[in-house]
Amino acid sequence: MRTLLLLLLTATLSAAGLKVGDPAPATRPESMLQGAAVKEFKKGEIYVFECWASWCGPCVAAIPHLDELHKKMGKKGVVITGVNVWEAERDAASAQRAKDFLKAQGDKMSYRVAVGGKAFIKDWLDAAEVNGIPMPSSSPKEKSPGWATRCNSHQKSSAISSRARPSPPPHRSPTRSRSVA
């Protein structure tokens, strides 16, 4: 009986998570470091939220590619927001480190940049069982805004552009792990 209850609980929790095709969570990043916040999704635009941290080598390696995509596709309706996670929400020193990193990037990181915050992490990353970054997500242009794709682990995002490069392999957060109680 105990095993059956554990299996039902596990299945229920798994079914409740954020999946490809689900509507995008209503939660937006906690604060903006650069650019205007995305308050609503507009039809005909593609929204990319790239989750990153300054300590994450693959995240830093993805920045030039995102900046290139922003410069090429921004005027065509692709809205990129780099969302700092698992860093700036920890404490004041970590928040300052993220701000200093952005400042040091200068025009090499010209797209919107935000701090995710705990609610964003819970509703976007934890709900999708994401435990590694970089982790971009996007909304499709043709449909109502939703969680269209997770394109880490060398997967390409066809929703953005056939010229978009895949993200480098995800970097695992040193303090995050998934476990079933």
pLDDT digits (tens, 9 = 90+) for 24-51: 888 899 999 999 999 888 888 998 999 9
Cα separation, 181 vs 178, in Å, equals 10
Average pLDDT score over residue span 96-118: 96
Average pLDDT score over residue span 61-87: 95
CA 43 to chain centre: 20
The DSSP call for residue 121 is I
Average pLDDT score over residue span 9-28: 66
Identify the top-confidence range among 7-21, 44-58, 144-158: 44-58
This prediction's pTM = 0.72
CATH number of 18-172: 3.40.30.10
Domain extents for the chain? Answer: 18-172
Q: What is the pLDDT of residue 86?
A: 94
- What are the angstrom distances between the C-alpha of 109 and each of 4, 23, 25, 151, 175? 50, 28, 25, 20, 26
Rg of the chain in Å (alpha carbons)? 17
38-47, 102-111, 163-172: least confidently modelled range: 163-172
Q: How many CB atoms lie within 10 A of CB 66?
A: 24
Q: What is the pLDDT of residue 8?
A: 29
